[in-house]
Structure 1
Amino acid sequence: MMFDEKHVEWLADLLAETAGAEIMPRFRRLGEGDIRQKTSASDLVTEADVNAERVITKALRERYPDAVVIGEEACSENPAILEGLGDARLAFVIDPVDGTYNFASDVPLFGVMLSVVVNGETVAGIIHDPVGKDWLIGMRGAGSHIRRPDNSLDKVRVADPVPVSGMTGSISWPYLPEPERSRLARNHAKCLAQIGYRCAAHEYRVIASGYAHFAVFGKLMPWDHLAGVLIHTEAGGHAARFDGSAYLPSHVGGGLMVAPDKESWKELRETLWAE
């Protein structure tokens, strides 16, 4: 099934409407029973995550009854859902609240992410910012842009390449094993500066928009990265797993790094992993 701009506009509006109904009314209003730990004190789920995913999933299944719909919270309950992603003719992958730790901590850095996968390839990605009320949207072969609340569009592009010493970026080292974790944390100091928003949605946004250069992720769940990598690539960037191989929707391991171009990626790989 081919996706055109009208499909993406409907999806973008669905994310915004759901955020307005299920996410923002709960922001800074969560009670004790509205927040639960999943795997650790930094891995949380709230009533906003659960309800937003439920609403988005229902709408997608009504409009696309033959599609596979994969949501982060549904996969927490049943990991087997992921197995169909690589082979599906049409699939939607949802992160109802990316940056749940921030959301639960009353920090206004979180987003709603959705990607569209057709025959194992990501063809569209949407990152909605419920606070700023805008969208970062990428479509395969059509570039990436920010859609403003007035529906005006601003094309985005990654930063120009610079030496590693002039780069700003993030390294998500909590999900890396030792000694790799300590090595990357140490070598990060060779860069100009760091960002660390605890929210992939906003990290992909600033990198795809050219305000920062790179990100390194140790944990690869599709709802965290499919939309962002598609948007970043369509904005001119380069993304690959740590071994240099292409990142695909079916991948859940192998690490991931995004950079302005292939040469910058290689320089970062050499510098950040240096003994």
Structure 2
Amino acid sequence: MIKNSETIDEFLAHASADVEKAVRAAAAAEIMPRFRRLAAHEVDEKSGPHDLVTDADREAERQLTEALGALLPDSVVVGEETVHADPASYEAIRGEAPVWIVDPVDGTRQFVRGEDGFCTLVALAQGGVVHASWTYAAARDQLATAVRGHGAFLDGQRLFAGPPEPGRDLTVATSHPDFTTDEQKHALLALRTGGIAPRPCGSAGLEYLAVARGELDAVAFSWEAAWDHAAGLLLVEEAGGAHLTRAREPFRVTGGNTLPFTAARDTATARRIAGLLAGEEG
């Protein structure tokens, strides 16, 4: 539990393991028992057939909200399902209190299909700065963590993305153009050019992890929801990568970004992709 005059960095120095336990416990109690066992009444649509929510999402977020709030009593929790029910609660990300940004099941469509490409995402931010993140792929038993200024790790092993190998096409996971505005679709279509190999994205959290591991060169996304991006962007940064919007500015979790944006395994690749998204060649 945080002490009265303690900073977030001091809190993380002694509480990171407790956060990890909370993430693992929520997955063990509410997500994995439903994996490949979902009944029809446990799956609902939100905005449409491509935007699903399950009982696992709702119950895991409820458990995480209780556990994380207890660890850091003056904090607030901004979770995907809570914001769906109460959109005004998203404004807490822009406040001064420490905020836990939670996506209980990132990759719900994969989870519903019984595929293992989903994860739980938790990030701790304050004043628009993400200080720490946890990416837990429960079905793969993989946990990636990052603390600002202290590196990114996967199952205890340090992550270094490194630059892409020269002379090959850059693989970029992208938002589906059909689910964007016309302007964003036009920007994403610019990635269909020589030297770039775009492909549809899966779970955003796992795509960020692939960038941090150096297995994927970049992502290009057209939506801002902080629960999808906060954890992964810090993971990429701490692995040596970079992120830029179409306006050539770093992505802000507080919003107001010029979309689409990219996160990449090194600065040069981020600049290359951001330039293409902006309609430039370089």
- Report if TM-score (shorter chain) is over 0.5: yes
1:257-268 superposed matches below 5 A: 257-268=262-273
* CA–CA separation in structure 2 for the residues paired with 1:180 and 1:143: 32
Q: Is residue 116–residue 123 contact of structure 1 (8 Å, CA) maintained in 2? A: yes
Quick check: 1:239 aligned with 2:247? no
* CA–CA separation in structure 2 for the residues paired with 1:186 and 1:84: 35
Return the match for 2:158 from 147, 155, 158.
155
How far residue 61 of structure 1 moved from its aligned partner, in angstroms, is 2.0
Residues 167-207 of structure 1 show CA distances to partners (whole Å, capped at 9, x for unaligned) of: 11211134432254155236335345344342011101111
Q: Is residue 109–residue 199 contact of structure 1 (8 Å, CA) maintained in 2? A: yes
The verdict on how the C-alpha distance between 1:272 and 1:244 changes in structure 2, with shifts beyond 3 A counting, is: closer
Quick check: 1:16 aligned with 2:24? yes
Task: Please report the TM-score for the alignment, with normalisation by the length of structure 1.
Answer: 0.91
Residues 217-266 of structure 1 show CA distances to partners (whole Å, capped at 9, x for unaligned) of: 10110100001001100110111222112222211642221123332222
Residues 20-72 of structure 1 show CA distances to partners (whole Å, capped at 9, x for unaligned) of: 11001001111111111111111000000000000000112222221111110
Q: Is residue 123–residue 140 contact of structure 1 (8 Å, CA) maintained in 2? A: yes
The one-letter amino acid paired with 1:43 is: D
Aligned pair count?
270
* CA–CA separation in structure 2 for the residues paired with 1:174 and 1:231: 28
The one-letter amino acid paired with 2:117 is: L
**Aligned to 2:64, what secondary structure does the other structure show?**
helix
Question: What's the % identity of the aligned pairs?
Answer: 27
How far residue 269 of structure 1 moved from its aligned partner, in angstroms, is 2.7
Return the match for 2:275 from 242, 260, 270.
270
How far residue 105 of structure 1 moved from its aligned partner, in angstroms, is 1.2
1:29-44 superposed matches below 5 A: 29-44=37-52
The one-letter amino acid paired with 1:210 is: G
**Aligned to 1:248, what secondary structure does the other structure show?**
coil
Q: Is residue 110–residue 202 contact of structure 1 (8 Å, CA) maintained in 2? A: yes
The one-letter amino acid paired with 2:59 is: N
Task: Please report the TM-score for the alignment, with normalisation by the length of structure 2.
Answer: 0.89
Return the match for 1:129 from 101, 125, 137.
137
The one-letter amino acid paired with 1:208 is: A
Q: Is residue 106–residue 118 contact of structure 2 (8 Å, CA) maintained in 1? A: yes
- Aligned-residue Cα RMSD (Å) equals 2.0
State which drifts further: 182-191 or 57-66. 182-191
